[in-house]
Amino acid sequence: MATWSELTFHPSPAAVAALRAHWSWKLGEHWTPFLFSVIGDVFIELKAGTVWWLSTATGGLEQVADSREHFTDLLRSDRTDEWFLPGLVEVLHAQGKVPEADDCYTYAIFPVFADGSFSAENMRPIPAARHFAISGDLHRRIEGLPDGSAVDLESF
């Protein structure tokens, strides 16, 4: 079973700055990131104290708890399998795809696309700042497009 130190990481100030710069279109200005999953997702707290999950794979933003205390309780539930994908992280490690400090995983083809997937073959570690820039810019550009729309990924 993957450990918390294998499922989460501590981003550098540059990575947090990239997250803020490239995801502000979705998150606004008033939020605090406090937990980063190695698969590239982020848990943030709003001023109201609510906790939200930003899926950088799909561009989804979902409120997951009313408070950090509630969120801490949820970390002892089955939700962690959905949020942190420990089985996938174990496979990635077994394939030698182990992130270094300030790295997280990103996707060759993001799972928001039909050809994308949450598979070890579709993922690799990269610097977190780069992942947040790529994912934020991608989702900003495709936000609001109907499902099945053709997207020229070469223009990214």
The ranges assigned to domains in the chain are 4-141
Residues in contact with 123: Cβ distance below 8 Å, sequence separation at least 6, in sequence order? 39, 88, 92, 97, 105, 106, 107, 108
| Nearest of 141, 94, 111, 144 to residue 40 by alpha carbon | 111
Which pair of structure tokens corresponds to residue 20? Answer: 């803020």
Residue 36 carries which side chain, given as an amino acid letter? F
Instruction: Give residue 1's pLDDT.
Output: 77
Instruction: Give residue 2's pLDDT.
Output: 82
Q: How confident is the model at residue 146 (pLDDT cuts 50, 70, 90)?
A: confident
The helix/strand count (H/E) of the chain reads as: 6, 6
| Global confidence as pTM | 0.93
Instruction: Give residue 153's pLDDT.
Output: 64
For residues 137 and 1, the model is more confident at 137
For residues 156 and 81, the model is more confident at 81
The arithmetic mean of pLDDT across residues 140-144, rounded, is 91
For residues 146 and 37, the model is more confident at 37
Residue-wise pLDDT tens digits, 97-115: 999 999 999 999 999 998 9
Instruction: Give residue 156's pLDDT.
Output: 55
List, in sequence order, the alpha helices (H) in 59-127.
Answer: 68-74, 79-84, 86-94
CA distance to 11, 41, 62, 83, per residue, from 52 (Å) = 18, 11, 5, 11
Instruction: Give residue 120's pLDDT.
Output: 97
Reduced to 3 states (helix: H, G, I; strand: E, B; else coil), residue 73 is helix
